[in-house]
Amino acid sequence: GAVVSQHPSWVICKSGTSVKIECRSLDFQATTMFWYRQFPKQSLMLMATSNEGSKATYEQGVEKDKFLINHASLTLSTLTVTSAHPEDSSFYICSARVPLLAGVYNEQFFGPGTRLTVL
Amino acid sequence: GIQVEQSPPDLILQEGANSTLRCNFSDSVNNLQWFHQNPWGQLINLFYIPSGTKQNGRLSATTVATERYSLLYISSSQTTDSGVYFCAVVLSNFGNEKLTFGTGTRLTIIP
């Protein structure tokens, strides 16, 4: 299957600082990537859809000025948590979709996740 | 929005036992995926199964889209099968690629 990497795997930061998380598709080009957040013992919630070369689409309730997404190339999307606070502590997971073929939905493959702790 | 419910929420089994996990969804879907989230948080793709039945070793899955459910079967459970199993669906709107995740089933296999 397709391989997606994330960096860093965990980060601890002080309240008020910004944190950048990278998501890379290693063996395919991804025009679309997705960012999810998962709180302990809960399911994954989609935060935003990241499209290469255009603005991200955010889900309802997700602050776009707080969670900045940049998809500058076909293999890299970044999520920056600006002015992080303890309530932003969570497990952030990205996914990449194998390129769309003739309008048929293709599988999403997930990165290993980044555990963010804000003190 | 679409509701995706999984049952049971928790399951504890002895090694070697078989299990069936269920995923019910409230609206028509284009596609469905099953994942295993291991204890380190990594989501592992198990099946991409919009309809029909697929098998991969000790695991198999069946989706009946017209009745809005999917089943994941695990046979001869091993301790490495422990973790959380999620189903996730894509709504039947062309161009909609968003996965909506189910509530999850936490499986614990006891040696």
Lowest mean pLDDT among B5-19, B39-53, B88-102: B88-102
Instruction: With a cut of 70, say whether residue A86 has pLDDT above it.
Output: yes
Given this model, what pLDDT does residue B96 score? 64
Looking at beta carbons, which residues of chain B come within 8 Å of A91? 41
Which of A32-46, A69-83, A88-102, B79-93 is predicted least confidently? A88-102
Residues B41 and A112: beta-carbon distance below 8 Å: yes
Is B41's CB within 8 Å of A113's CB?
A: yes
Work out the pLDDT band at B110, boundaries 50, 70, 90. Answer: very high
Rounded to 5°, the CA angle B96-B29-B102 comes to: 95
- Calculate how close chain A gets to B104, using CA atoms only, in Å: 7
Contacts of B63 in chain A (CB under 8 A): none
Q: Is A87 left (phi over 0), alpha (psi -120 to 50) or beta?
A: alpha
**Closest CA relative to residue A33, chosen from A101, A113, A93:** A93
Q: What is the mean pLDDT of chain A?
A: 91
Cβ separation A45–B101 shorter than 8 A = yes
CB-CB contact of A71 with A51 (8 Å):
yes
CB pairs under 8 A between A and B: 48
What's the pLDDT band for A101 if we cut at 50, 70, 90?
A: low
- Chain A positions touching B31 (Cβ under 8 A) are 105
| The predicted structure's pLDDT at residue B91 | 79
Nearest CB to B101; choose among A32, A44, A105: A44
> Residue range B88-101: average pLDDT?
80
Average of pLDDT values for A10-30? 94
Reply yes or no on whether the pLDDT at A66 is more than 60. Answer: yes
Q: What are phi and psi of A113, to 5 degrees?
A: 90, 155
Preferred mutation among B86, B99, B100 to probe A, highest tally of A CBs within 10 A: B99
Over 80: is that where the pLDDT of B106 sits? Answer: yes
Q: What is the pLDDT of residues B55-84, one digit of tens each?
A: 999 999 999 999 999 999 999 999 999 999
